[in-house]
Amino acid sequence: MKRIYVNEKWCLGCHLCEYECAYANSGIADMVRALKGKTIHPRVQVDEDGDIHFAVNCRHCTDPVCVQSCISGALTKGEDGVVRIDQEKCVGCLTCVLVCPYGAVLPSPEGHAAMKCQLCTDNQMGEPNCVKHCPNGAIVFEERSAL
Amino acid sequence: MSKFQYVIIGGSIAAVAAIEGIRSKDSEGSILVIGEENHVAYGRPLISYYLLGETDLPRMDYRPADFYEKNGVTLRLGVRATAIHPAKKTVELAGGEKIGYEKLLVATGSRPFEPPMEGIENVKERYHFMTMDDALSLEKALSPEKRALIIGAGLIGLKCFEGIAVRVKHTAIVDLAPRILPSILDEAGAKMVQRVLEEHNATFYLADSVAHFDEHKATLKSGKEVEFDILITAVGVRPNVELIKEAGGEVSRGIVIDAGGRTTLPDVYAAGDCAESFDVASGTKKILALLPNASFQGRVAGVNMAGGEAELTDAAAFNSIGFFGTHVMTAGVYEGEEHLDRTETSYKALFFKDGVLKGFILIDHPERAGIYTMLLRKRIPLSETDLKTLEGAPKWSALPEEMRRDFAREV
């Protein structure tokens, strides 16, 4: 399946992906209205330590440990390979946050559920918005194989 | 006599995971699930969220309604398996019916343990808190003028408290241990969570136990008296190992299995709260009675039952549990050098030993905690990481470049 990959060497650490993600999932058409003056809760986050920085979001693992650990059955891996969370079924126990080895499942800001990148299949963007707007092409959406 | 290629005794999470494991290798072979509870699999820990009103019965189903049909699974629910005959490869049901199997999974879970308590027979409104039926009968007893008494300040007892807190007048909680959640928290962490619970109308009687019950009164060893209307006992659980034991399989604390889920009986597997695991943090075999572990074990057993090759080599104790919005995440064992970071409202303790992360306690520090769990389960040598950064926050950028290459490939 097509997944999001990040090239650490090309990542500028500009955090623009985080804003593009928050905008994509805001449900608001106007970017200024969606973001201005608001604390954002993006599903992609720049992971940084000194000179090292790269964007991290859900890897849509082949054997997702979050899906296997979910206490409510809210997390599923679809036939399209996308790992999704049903926020209606989720009770917000955050077991998925505790087991995701990439730190890519996040507590939802309203506190009653978890949230994660669903490759912009759950909003109006049609394609991953972080990829589309990465100024240096560090985030890509493509097929790759294991190793 | 009916016969199935795969028979699973127990219908909960390990069974669901085993069905998925089997079907990842064999799309045809017949599967029978024998479940003692008269429900399809539901998220067992959700029973407290049900009482809280944060979920409801339909949403508690662990898989979509068509799961069993789609996977070609025959369900026999509300039926108890009473014996396994490994030489004949049959399972016997209550009433005497026998069913043949090629591969058998025992996923019988655990049951509440009730130590002998003097006068307990005087108490009429008495409940456990393990199953959906337990929650439904407890719910009928709840009312705003009643006082509840919970014996046991462990995970089950305290989640039960969260579920009933606003639906009863007051709750008293008694535990033999000197602190709450003794299996997952240290003293300082336990104090912090206890405060949260006390703010929600709980009174604790710790390092104490009930000497005698009257119908509406418990007299404690300390001499204190607690009046109550509803009693919930959540002292602990015992694994359901009898089927394997009586069939001649090896049982220690729980059913003994190898990394592939095989018991010592041929073609018989076990998974979930009835079976032991090899815990990577302590380096010992123990029962890890946790939903994710039941799921991992069930899946591994299912794959192997269907002729595949799978092993569970990184089992560990980990828990994510919330109380009134306070999130407690814990993992591993609390041994070795401790890194502590605490404020009024949050608590973070990391434990390092033998050059790896051995355990942690995070209270209201949920962000990216899974990176710590990964370090613990994979026993990543800390010498190869930027430990100072990791102590501050879990990050992949603090991990060695070779590990970070993970981000350039399919995982």
Domains belonging to chain A, first-starting first, are 1-57+122-147 (3.30.70), 61-116 (3.30.70.20)
Cβ of A62 within 8 Å of Cβ of B411? The answer is: yes
* pLDDT tens per residue across all 147 residues of chain A: 999 999 999 999 999 999 999 999 999 999 999 999 999 999 999 999 999 999 999 999 999 999 999 999 999 999 999 999 999 999 999 999 999 999 999 999 988 899 999 999 999 998 999 999 999 999 999 999 765
CATH of the domain at B201: 3.50.50.60
| A6, A61, A88 ranked by CB distance to B407: nearest | A6
Q: Is B222 in the same domain as B242?
A: no
Domain final residue pick, B305, B334, B349: B305
Give the other-Cβ count within 10 Å of B223's Cβ.
Answer: 8
Whether residue B316 lies inside any domain: the answer is no
User: What is the pLDDT, as a whole number, of residue A147?
Assistant: 56
Q: Verify whether the Cβ–Cβ distance A91 to B54 is below 8 Å.
A: yes
Count of residues in chain B: 411
Q: Nearest Cβ partner of B409 from A88, A92, A146? A: A146
Query: Which tokens is B51 given?
Result: 């009482």
Does residue B352 form part of some domain?
yes
B284 φ, ψ to 5°? -130, 165
Question: Are residue B300 and residue B329 in the same domain, yes or no?
Answer: no
> Domain of B346: which CATH number?
3.30.390.30
**Cβ A47–B331 below 8 Å, yes or no?**
no
Chain A residues near residue B411 by CB distance under 8 angstroms: 59, 61-62, 146
Burial B164-178 (b: 16+ CB within 10 A, else e): bbebbeebbbbbbbe
When scoring B368, B379, B380 by the number of chain A Cβ atoms within 10 A, the one with the most, hence best to mutate, is B368
In a domain, B315, yes or no: no
In whole angstroms, what is the distance from residue A84 CA to residue A58 CA?
10
- B92/B107 same-domain check: yes
- Contact yes or no for B397 and A53 at CB 8 A: yes
Residue type, B376: L
Which residue in B44, B370, B404 is closest to A97 by CB distance? B370
Both B10 and B83 in one domain: the answer is: yes
Residues B225 and B243 in one domain: no
Are A91 and B296 an interchain contact pair (Cβ–Cβ within 8 Å)?
Answer: no
Q: Is residue B206 part of a domain?
A: yes
Contact A68 B295 (CB under 8 A): yes
Q: Report the residue of A53, A77, A95, A139 to disrupt the B interface, i.e. the one with the largest count of B CBs within 10 Å.
A: A95
- In contact, B182 and B175? CB cutoff 8 Å: yes
- 3-class SS letters over B36-67: CCCCCCECHHHHHHHHHCCCCHHHHECCCCCH
B102 and B57 belong to one structural domain: yes
**Number of C-beta neighbours around residue B45 at 10 A:** 19
The residues with which B251 forms a beta bridge, in sequence order, are: B255
Q: Token pair for residue B261? A: 């889920």
Smallest CA–CA distance, residue A124 to chain B, in Å, is: 26
Question: Which chain A residue is nearest to residue B400, measuring alpha carbons?
Answer: A52
Query: How many domains is chain B partitioned into structurally?
Result: 3
In a domain, B312, yes or no: no
Asked if A91 lies within 8 A of B55 by C-beta distance, the reply is yes
Which residue of B320, B372, B387 to mutate against A (max A Cβ within 10 Å)? Answer: B320
CB B317 within 8 A of CB B327: no
Query: Do B107 and B133 reside in the same domain of the chain?
Result: no
- Which chain A residues touch B391 with a CB distance below 8 Å? none
Considering the domain architecture, whether residues B151 and B130 belong to the same structural domain is answered as yes
Distances (CA, A) of B8 to B114, B182, B325: 27, 33, 37
Name every residue whose Cβ is closer than 8 Å to that of residue B242 and which is 6 or more positions away in sequence.
none
Q: Low-confidence residues of chain B, pLDDT below 50?
A: none
Strands (E), B310-405: 318-323, 326-332, 337-342, 347-353, 356-363
Amino acid at A140: V
What global pTM score does this model have?
A: 0.96
Query: What are residue A3's DSSP bridge partners?
Result: A142
A103:B396 CB<8 A: yes
How many Cβ atoms from other residues are within 10 Å of residue A146's Cβ? 7
In this prediction, residue A110 carries a pLDDT of: 84
- Over the stretch B123-145, which tens digit does the pLDDT of each residue have? 999 999 999 999 999 999 999 99
ipTM above 0.90, yes or no: yes
Is there a single domain that holds both residue B16 and residue B96? yes
Q: What pLDDT is stored for residue B186 in this prediction?
A: 95
Are B124 and B74 in a shared domain? no
Q: Which residues pair with B348 in a beta bridge?
A: B341, B362
Please give the DSSP secondary-structure letter assigned to residue A14. -
User: What are the backbone angles phi and psi of residue B166, rounded to the nearest 5°?
Assistant: -90, 0
Question: Chain centroid to CA B378: how far?
Answer: 21
| Same domain for B19 and B100 | yes
Identify whether residues B227 and B254 lie together within a single domain: no
In a domain, B313, yes or no: no
Both structure tokens of B353? 């030993």
Q: Please indicate, yes or no, if residue B310 is contained in any of the structural domains.
A: no
| Structural domain boundaries enclosing B57 | 2-111+238-305
Do B10 and B104 contact (CB within 8 A), yes or no?
A: no
Nearest 5°: CA angle at B69, between B95 and B37? 40
Determine, yes or no, domain membership for B370: yes
Residues 6+ apart with CB under 8 A from B200: B162, B165, B166, B324
CB atoms inside a 10 Å sphere around CB A116: 22
